[in-house]
Homo-oligomer: A and B are copies of this chain.
Amino acid sequence: MANKISFGSDNYAGVCPEVMNYFQQINCGHVSGYGEDVFTEKAIDLFKMEFGSNIEVFFVYNGTGANTLSLEAMTQSYNSIICSDVSHIIVHEVTAPQKWTGCKFISLPHLKGKINFEQIKTVYEEGIFWGHHTALPKVVSITQSTEYGTLYSLTEIKNIADYCHQNNMLLHMDGARISNACVALDCSFKEMTKDCGVDVLSFGATKNGLMFGDAIVFFNTELAYHFDYRQKQGLQLHSKMRFISGQFIPYLEQKIWKKNAIQANKMCQLLAIQLEKALPNCLVYSSETNQIFAKIPSIIVEELHKDFHFYLFNAKEEVVRFVTSFDTKESDIVMFGNKLITLCK
């Protein structure tokens, strides 16, 4: 993909400059490993400033690790986990959560990337109908923003959380793109998670400018019992921990998360405008975050691919995906738009 402008993925971007620079401060001689250091301590404090003090935070290597270990902490192997049929945890993690938890995953047909509590109610009731002959529903997992770039409203999240808690279930949020969601909804992290009733959050940041590392945030702190053991066993405890946790210091303190997400979302909106202009009604879902899906004839896709990198998402339906990131430039969008307009004439 050399020399091409990329809308391939937000994890094709590198590390944002503020975080990159901060590594110089982190790399300051010897400090204790495995999280017993001042950088980790400060990062946890910053999380508590965002979410309130009664939380537990753990830093892991990646989103699949965050999701898998979160779900393990929330379940027994005889449980089932309810999610959408396009959720990352069942489609794109090679069954890591299944293997690690032993649980059944019940996938619901997504509605613009989302599921709702009525769907959950139906499968929950089916689940308990058979008693101990089938897996006992225990967790609902939603992705915010979704795999299709769409958003749950705060009310939608709250409704799902309420249904979960009324039925002895728990709510997990895969927040791989949580910053993009918060920016789009113009709310705080806390308002979109803890205040809605989320029990455990996979707090993603790698797609928004970090080098590596995500966080797991437990609002239901009982679920964090002995999580330090789970983390080490789950291949997710970094020896030189400060190099994960330390990245969150500028990220949260200097609100880099917001700056980066604003840029990515904004570029995506511009891209949407260009697409609509050239190919009216080509957008599959309206998106306010940094992912957009569009139906584009394959002959045009072929031409675009000569200068731009992006993925065919569904070959049959000619749907392609565009992802913008913190370092997508307005000039990238302009160039793309110009070429597209030319091709569509």
Contacts and interface: CB of A to CB of B under 8 A. Distances in A.
Nearest to A129: B315
Query: Which range holds the interface residue count of chain A?
Result: 35 or more
A291 interface: no
Nearest to A63: B239
A265 interface: no
Contacts of A234: 96, 235
Interface string A27-62: 111111110000000000000000000000000011
Contacts of A259: none
A5, A228, A229: which has the most chain B beta carbons within 10 Å? A229
A229 B94 contact: yes
A91 interface: yes
A20 B23 contact: yes
Nearest to A243: B211
A274 interface: no
A233 interface: yes
Given A11-B239, A240-B211, A95 B233 contact: yes
Interface string A222-237: 0000101111111111
Given A27-B15, A132-B229, A99 B76 contact: no
Given A61-B238, A229-B78, A29 B134 contact: no
A226 B132 CA distance: 8
A87 interface: no
Dominant SS at the A interface?
Answer: loop
Interface in A152-196: none
A40 to B, nearest CB: 13
A301 interface: no
A14 interface: yes
Counted per complex, copies of this chain come to 4
Contacts of A135: 94-95, 229, 233
A103 interface: yes
B235 A64 contact: yes
A325 B243 CA distance: 18
A92 B20 CA distance: 32
Given A12-B33, A23-B23, A29-B327, A96 B232 contact: yes
Nearest to A242: B14
A55 to B, nearest CB: 19
A119 interface: no
A116 interface: no
Nearest to A136: B229
Interface string A286-305: 00000000000000000000
Contacts of A6: 30
A95 B91 contact: no
A232 B28 contact: no
Nearest to A104: B95
B130 A96 contact: no
Contacts of A232: 64, 78, 93-94, 96, 132-133
8 contacts: A15-B27, A30-B327, A34-B133, A61-B61, A62-B238, A76-B229, A96-B232, A99-B103
